[in-house]
Amino acid sequence: MEDRRIRFRSLVSSNLSQPSIETPLVAKSRSNRRANPNRLILSVLFGFNLAIGYLLMLAIMSFNGGVIVAVVLGLKVGYYLFRSGLDADDVLTVENPCACS
């Protein structure tokens, strides 16, 4: 989920114009922020990712050895499938280094 959310965010941000030095930090009108469907999609993906992270944390806190092994192996397989194939040219930007978000 995190991989898809980050890729969607980079896809959306590549379509937007890059801000210049004259761009204000705070927008004058907030009406355009609410109407953007990409922001809604990003917030829903972030919510799913956060919920999965907290559920995994609760599963680990059960102190059940089988559950702990299953979660760790699942995370390792997910990393192998979705993250280990990144080339040196691929830039992966994470806005929050916390593993659960």
pLDDT tens readout for residues 42-70 = 888 888 888 998 999 999 999 999 999 99
Domain boundaries, the chain: 2-16+28-82
19-43 per-position pLDDT tens digit: 566 666 666 655 555 567 878 888 8
Angle between the N-to-C axes of helices 37-60 and 65-82, in degrees from 0 to 180, rounded to the nearest 10:
140
Residue whose structure tokens are 């989920």: 1
CA distances from 101 to 32, 64, 97 (A): 26, 24, 8
Identify the DSSP state of 35: S
- Which position has the higher pLDDT, 7 or 51? 51
